[in-house]
Amino acid sequence: MTHQAEIIDSPDESFSKLNMLDFISSKEIEKKISKSHAKKIPYDLYIRLSPQKFVRIVNKNQEIPVERFRNYYEKGALFVYMKKEDFQNYLGINLCLTEKISENKLVPQEKKLILLKHTGEIILDCLYTNEIDQTALESAKTMVETATHILSDSSAAFELLKALNEYTDHLYAHCVAVSFYSTLIARQLQWNAPVTLTKITIAGLLHDIGKKDIPRTIIDKPRFNMSVEEIKIYETHPITGMQILSKLEAVPEEILQIVMQHHEDCTGHGYPHGLKKGQIHPLARLIAVSDKFAEFVVKGPESQGMTPENAFLEILNLYRDLLDTTFLYALMQVFGFEPPKKYIQLREEWEEEE
């Protein structure tokens, strides 16, 4: 064993965590592809022994011993930890680094914790988590909480999350739902590389940030009740969202693109640009599926809150051509939902794609 185990005392909030099982499976895939080793990581990796006590299990730039990680997991280590700065570098999202200079800009720990607690409550109370596999639930919940944590480290990004949370009752719950369901879709498709999952989760949390600048009288209305003028204003939110996020220099460009394209649809009639399916970023097509699903299951202007089963039936009935069936089917699998026989043609398409 070449690693050097070192126990360090450090506040929990100076670390970010990833789901151990996701980490192991992404490394196993890398190992399979390269037929030898999983990719090295240029940062130290830790597990948490107890509050504020971490042990380093891999030194930076060492080979990742996948079997040993599986051993840790079996002994109860559900998460792998990295120092917060390292983690953000690893993901290519340097929110806390860009603002480190000014101490008075730091978001108070207490405010962060309130938002994190609220996020966890939305997931467990509103998102029909009883119907999904426990491992998938834990993993997606960790991803959403880690993303919230990362964003809260930047005062500018924290202000955006706060704005979503305070603007209407339903907007933040909707965004958490989209983030959570999008992560579940990605995992179902085995897109479990931490970088991909984090990007999807952050894009989900921020996809509707452009709505914070739209009058509440419009935001609170179901779409069929909006006037032509109101629809026009409503449909500005993907572009406004992209502009708001582009001011945070640390947000990756890919996330900007996803935010801008989340209302494009596969028939080419979406907005803002009416892009064709192949022109839409795959992650924007993924988010479009969880966006529609969240609109129905989470109480808000479009619905009083439906069961996942009814939401899927509604989507199949009204929106199946607009959405990417690969992602829609993956979400159905997450919930163990079997589409009715009349959608046999769609099912055949899905099976072909699989």
DSSP symbols for 249-312: TTS-HHHHHHHHHTT--TTS--SSS---GGGS-HHHHHHHHHHHHHHHHS-BTTBS---HHHHH
Question: Residue 316 has which token pair?
Answer: 């199949």
# chain residues binding Fe ion, by CB under 5 A? 2
CB of 263 to Fe ion, least distance (A): 6
CB of 157 to Fe ion, least distance (A): 18
Q: Are 181 and 294 in contact (CB under 8 A)?
A: yes
Spatial CA neighbour of 45 closest among 12, 91, 82: 82
Of 44 and 291, nearer to Fe ion (C-beta) is 291
Of 57 and 209, nearer to Fe ion (C-beta) is 209
Of 65 and 238, nearer to Fe ion (C-beta) is 238
Interacting stretch for Fe ion, rule CB under 5 A, among 58-66, 143-151, 202-210, 214-222?
202-210
Q: How far apart are CA 19 and CA 219, in angstroms?
A: 35
CB of 159 to Fe ion, least distance (A): 20
Among 86, 99, 208, 264, binds Fe ion (CB under 5 A): 208
What amino acid occupies position 316?
L
CB of 276 to Fe ion, least distance (A): 20
Residues 139-198 touching Fe ion, rule: CB under 5 A, are none
DSSP symbols for 231-242: HHHHTTHHHHHH
CB of 293 to Fe ion, least distance (A): 10
Site string for Fe ion, 278-297 (x = CB under 5 A): -------------x------
Of 22 and 208, nearer to Fe ion (C-beta) is 208
- E strand or H helix that includes residue 113: helix 109-126
Identify the bridge partners of residue 46 per DSSP, sorted by sequence position: 56, 81
Interacting stretch for Fe ion, rule CB under 5 A, among 4-12, 156-164, 200-208, 214-222?
200-208
Of 133 and 213, nearer to Fe ion (C-beta) is 213
Spatial CA neighbour of 301 closest among 225, 237, 205: 225
Binding site for Fe ion (CB under 5 A): 208, 291
